[in-house]
Amino acid sequence: MLVLEDLIKINASSEKVYSFFIDPEKTYLSWHKNHVKFKWIKGKQMSTGAIGYFEEYLHGKLHKLKVHYSNVIPNRFIEFKPLPIFWRIFYPKSTLEFIQTNNGCVFKALSYFRIGWISSNSKRAKEHIVLIQQHMKEEGENLKYFIESE
């Protein structure tokens, strides 16, 4: 399994950083220039069992995805999994962790991918991985900017 990770230190409490994710209908578009849409399908706030729908551009292609928020621990952790079974074969989940430190919070984003030997050695797959990693890095930097600018 391939796990892409992005870590960024934010000068704010984990509660403040987590608060950005409580209602993605209000914050998702501003989080990254490639984010197009977010809406709740089930539930109205970040919680275990909620279902969200989002659209975003990755590697130049519009992706539309329903996700199940399978584990939400307020101010600490969010885990979501794609609802379409086909997607879960290759992309089983993503997690967001909010790690409180003495002088702020470390925001840790992980995306998990199952790619076979052939895919992992293809030029196209490697290019997509680099673009996804860049997208995650930009999300972390944007989040830091938003939170620290408030």
Task: Convert the pLDDT of each residue in 77-106 to its tens digit.
Answer: 999 999 988 888 888 999 999 999 999 999
Give the chain's domains with CATH numbers: 2-149 (3.30.530.20)
| Cα dihedral value 106, 138, 25, 109, nearest 10 | -40
What is the side-by-side order of every strand in the sheet holding 35-42?
A: 2-10, 104-113, 93-101, 77-82, 61-73, 51-58, 35-42
Task: Convert the pLDDT of each residue in 114-148 to its tens digit.
Answer: 877 656 667 777 788 888 899 999 999 999 999 99
* pTM of the predicted structure, to 2 decimals: 0.91
